[in-house]
């Protein structure tokens, strides 16, 4: 029997402990079980699970559109820092892909993962070369080459992909 998704996430968290970016992306389509797995990891690892859409939108309410674009990295760091934990799980992060906010979500997550282990649910897909969010015809489409990423894929083979080399 293949390991449960939550077990694969926990193994990946341990595998990135000494990496330059302590980031684990849990990649799969909406409804594929990412949130349930993160809840299981939260319960077993005692790591906080943050609903990014909810927490970030509360803090963006009183800001202008320009202020929102400029403040998102700082606000996201505050949200994660307030958990006061070395490991944090981020779910429901679609707000970061909103075109009007002009953000690079992967870069934001990588920045957060320099000082703590960050596990992110990512609504998208992977193939042998790329990580994507949305479809190419969608305005929120993002695509990244699979370089130095730790990915737990929910779809397809469900394999864990660790970075070839770790930048320390």
Position 48 in a domain: yes
What CA–CA distance (Å, rounded) separates 23 from 29? 19
- Spell out the residues 6+ positions from residue 112 whose beta carbon is closer than 8 angstroms to its own: 23, 76, 77, 80, 88, 118
The confidence score (pLDDT) of residue 28 equals 93
The confidence score (pLDDT) of residue 128 equals 86
95-124 pLDDT, tens digit each: 999 999 999 999 999 999 999 999 999 999
The confidence score (pLDDT) of residue 148 equals 84
What CA–CA distance (Å, rounded) separates 25 from 160? 10
Position 137 in a domain: yes
Position 84 in a domain: yes
Q: How confident is the model at residue 135 (pLDDT cuts 50, 70, 90)?
A: confident
- Spell out the residues 6+ positions from residue 17 whose beta carbon is closer than 8 angstroms to its own: 117
Position 153 in a domain: yes
Position 168 in a domain: no
Specify the number of domains making up the chain.
1
What CA–CA distance (Å, rounded) separates 139 from 136? 8
Position 78 in a domain: yes
Q: What is the dihedral of CA 30, 113, 90, 10, to 10 degrees?
A: 80
Position 60 in a domain: yes
For the chain, the C-alpha Rg in angstroms (whole number) is 15
Position 166 in a domain: no
Question: Which residue range is the domain that position 32 belongs to?
Answer: 5-161
Q: What's this model's pTM, rounded to 2 decimal places?
A: 0.88
- Spell out the residues 6+ positions from residue 119 whose beta carbon is closer than 8 angstroms to its own: 9, 12, 13, 23, 24, 26, 38, 41, 47, 87, 88, 89, 90
Q: What is the mean pLDDT of residues 145-166?
A: 68
The confidence score (pLDDT) of residue 168 equals 36
CB atoms closer than 10 angstroms to residue 142: 17
Q: What is the CATH number of the domain that holds 82?
A: 3.40.50
């Amino acid at each position: 029997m293949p390991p449960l998704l939550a077990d694969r996430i926990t193994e990946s968290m341990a595998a990135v402990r000494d990496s330059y970016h302590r980031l684990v992306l849990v990649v799969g389509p909406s409804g594929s079980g990412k949130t349930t797995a993160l809840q299981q990891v939260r319960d077993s690892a005692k790591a906080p699970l943050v609903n990014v859409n909810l927490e970030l939108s509360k803090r963006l309410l009183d800001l202008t559109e320009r202020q929102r674009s400029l403040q998102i990295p700082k606000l996201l760091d505050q949200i994660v820092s307030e958990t006061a934990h070395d490991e944090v799980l981020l779910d429901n992060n679609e707000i970061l892909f909103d075109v009007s906010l002009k953000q690079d979500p992967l870069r934001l997550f990588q920045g957060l993962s320099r000082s703590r282990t960050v596990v992110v649910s990512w609504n998208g897909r992977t193939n042998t070369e790329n990580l994507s969010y949305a479809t190419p015809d969608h305005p929120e489409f993002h695509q990244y080459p699979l370089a130095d990423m730790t990915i737990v894929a929910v779809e397809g083979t469900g394999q864990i992909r660790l970075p070839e080399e770790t930048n320390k």
